[in-house]
A and B are shown apart, each in its own frame.
Chain A
């Protein structure tokens, strides 16, 4: 027999313990994705319990259901349009008054059956709060059930109650809702009379609720009604709404939406009087005491910097070990494949294309796991909002939110996790801006390029030059932030009104689920795009296969073989070894020359030469241009490609430095190239992440275009400006 399916949505304030309850119910059987069209995380889980097939949806945490933030719109639309069988509103018992604001709105929606979970009742008790849950249930006509989410107490019983409620034939209760003052109630009634006759079942609104929203000037509701109602009903509705809003405005000398908010809190105050008692006993607020240290005027910043430093160290230093293991694992696999598979195009594709490409992604996994573990730790303990509290003043200067600091800082390590870390920002604009400027934070993969170029051309001053390059990136990020905030992403950054939740001991299970969800997403989605990208880049550098070489390399190789076998015959045994090495060296030289010519004649080389005029004004030759193109796969590749094109081995070796010096590159041109590498199009993994996190091709292309144009302009200014003032 097929089991009956029930959909249960979890709603509640941020920090109400909603996600903990969700994790307790669903465990690891959860699916994390995005809500359609927006980058708000959507969590869904399916469990079979008590003979039912339960679908549990974790709605975004919100304080209200006004359409100001995407989270609120998403939560509201889900309840309205999908109409889950039951909505469980998780109420933070230690924060009852504010939680009830969302709860009353939930009741007003009038769509699904609502159940209240009075969560963290232990914390409330410890604070000396007494809540009469029976009275609360009676007053709001909603079943109420006490839970302690982080101890998994009462969660099963809560589910059982939700199932009973879903199975009962009772309609969503129409009992006591917020009663507004007389003028407002009569305004609501007037709109309701206009609306009700036109309401078809396909309009997912309750007429009373829709009337209230119209009075509150809710654009989304108005638009929806305009498209759903018959034409002749719209005009009277709109004009009536306008008239009523005007009357109320004059009557209260205040916007109607503010009056309604005020009255809801008044209604809640009435409920509070009946159900809530706080003992006068002085309690110890340990959270407040922790904050006396962690956000202290003097030690707050040093402690914050220490935590960030520790996170950085863990992510990139501790992460380097498993990174090495994976790297050598991939390397080992590559060499096994290399020796086992017969020489063919397919093998080349597999080893140099797919394996190299996928390998370059998978090495980031340890970094990402550790980083997301740390971020989950920051978030679950409540420290993240303190970071924002401390940093907001500085970040606000760039037009950003305090929380943008972490992604930007992580950018110095690797842009992929950094851009994913921007998820912690609630406002879409803040998140987008952070994503757009994070690539200017010079990531660790660019360092080898700087080391080669600065080491070659600036000798003992290399360190200072590299430091200047980093600084250049930070300044570009700041200027970009200010520019975009005043143009493209105009509008005040989101209000900073932010709760500083009490510190909590995190649950390992939650941390691990958090970490794994985000990492899994990285593996799945990145894998595909990077795979395709690597294959394209490989094909560009591997074709055409039939190069007309300028030298007869096979003949040269045969010649050397012949000469040395002659020599070996007459040489005495002591010299044999030296001869063998000599031969190897010469053969390598030829192979390198051959590879250099092959790469130069590949599509990549052809493109590189074709676009050489673009790089010429920056003092970069066609080899530099090709390397920069190849650097799209990963920035380290710039160095190895330079090596290939200059026909030298061992990236970063003295041979490459000599080759660069003799190629006609000047120190100024090297500096311009470093600036270009710093700023231009991020690597393919980062681009894929930007695409994923903005869920917009437009913004991804914008990011690519903007970074590359800025890079070219800056490098141009540096190179030509430098020449003007007589530098070389």
Chain B
């Protein structure tokens, strides 16, 4: 594998244009389930496409489609940066 891990962080801290892999989805109840049902399960790679003009929400590309999440929701997702 030519990927290199740079430790765990939360998705809300990933910069625009960076790639990350999901380690764990936190949060509770409906939110957590919804995130996972959209295909953001452990081990899934995602790409932070952009942050909205007011810095919230952010847009990520996962499994080929675009999803937006609020920063507070993204902060529940633990990821590792993929270089």
Chain A positions within 8 Å of B, measured between CB atoms, are 63-64, 66, 68, 94-95, 97-98, 101, 257-258, 261-262, 265, 287-288, 291, 295-298, 300-301, 385, 388-390, 392-394, 396, 492, 494-502
Contacts and interface: CB of A to CB of B under 8 A. Distances in A.
Contacts of B82: none
Given A496-B68, A499-B65, A63 B37 contact: yes
Contact of A495 (B30, B50, B66): B30
Contacts of B41: 261-262, 265
B53 A500 contact: no
Output the residue of A94, A385, A494, A496 with the most chain B CB within 10 A: A496
5 contacts: A98-B65, A258-B36, A261-B37, A265-B36, A295-B50
B45 interface: no
A497 B39 contact: no
Contacts of B63: 95, 97-98
A621 to B, nearest CB: 48
Contact of B66 (A393, A494, A499): A499
Nearest to B63: A97
A497 B53 contact: no
Contacts of A297: 50, 53
Given A497-B34, A497-B38, A500-B59, A392 B67 contact: no
How would you classify the secondary structure of chain B's contact residues: helix, strand, loop or mixed? mixed
A497 B31 contact: yes
Contact of A389 (B35, B52, B55): B52
Contacts of B30: 68, 494-495
Contact of A500 (B35, B64, B68, B70): B68
Contacts of A291: 49-50, 59, 66
Given A262-B42, A392-B68, 5 more contacts: A64-B33, A98-B65, A262-B36, A495-B30, A498-B68
A101 B50 CA distance: 26
B50 to A, nearest CB: 7
B1 interface: no
Nearest to A500: B66
Contacts of A497: 31, 34-35, 38, 67-69, 73
Contacts of B56: 392-393, 396
Contacts of A498: 67-69
Contacts of B54: 390, 393-394
Output the residue of B38, B50, B64, B65 with the most chain A CB within 10 A: B65
B54 to A, nearest CB: 4
Contacts of B73: 495-497
A295 B53 contact: yes
B78 to A, nearest CB: 14
Contacts of B19: none
B34 A68 contact: yes
A501 B42 CA distance: 23
Contact of A499 (B25, B33, B55, B67): B67
Given A101-B39, A258-B33, A500-B59, A95 B68 contact: no
A257 B33 contact: yes
Contacts of B65: 95, 98, 499, 501
Interface in B15-58: 25, 30-39, 41-42, 49-50, 52-57
B71 to A, nearest CB: 9
B69 A496 contact: yes
A375 B68 CA distance: 21
B53 A261 contact: no
A95 B65 CA distance: 7
Contacts of A68: 30, 33-34
Nearest to A300: B53
B52 A392 contact: yes
B53 A258 contact: no
Contacts of B37: 63-64, 66, 101, 261
A389 B70 contact: no
B58 to A, nearest CB: 9
A728 to B, nearest CB: 44
Contacts of B67: 497-500
Contacts of A496: 57, 68-70, 73
A390 B38 CA distance: 21
A618 to B, nearest CB: 40
Contacts of A389: 52, 57, 59, 68
A396 B68 CA distance: 14
Contacts of B34: 63, 68, 495, 497
B66 to A, nearest CB: 4
A497 B69 CA distance: 5
A300 to B, nearest CB: 5
A317 B66 CA distance: 36
A261 B36 contact: yes
Contacts of A393: 52, 54-57
> Which 5 A-B pairs have CB atoms at the shortest separation, nearest pair first?
A393-B54, A500-B66, A495-B31, A64-B37, A496-B70
A257 B34 CA distance: 12
Nearest to A95: B65
B64 A95 contact: yes
Contacts of B68: 385, 388-389, 392, 496-500
Contacts of B31: 492, 495, 497
Contacts of A261: 33, 36-37, 41
Contacts of A295: 50, 52-53, 59
Contacts of A388: 68
Contacts of B25: 258
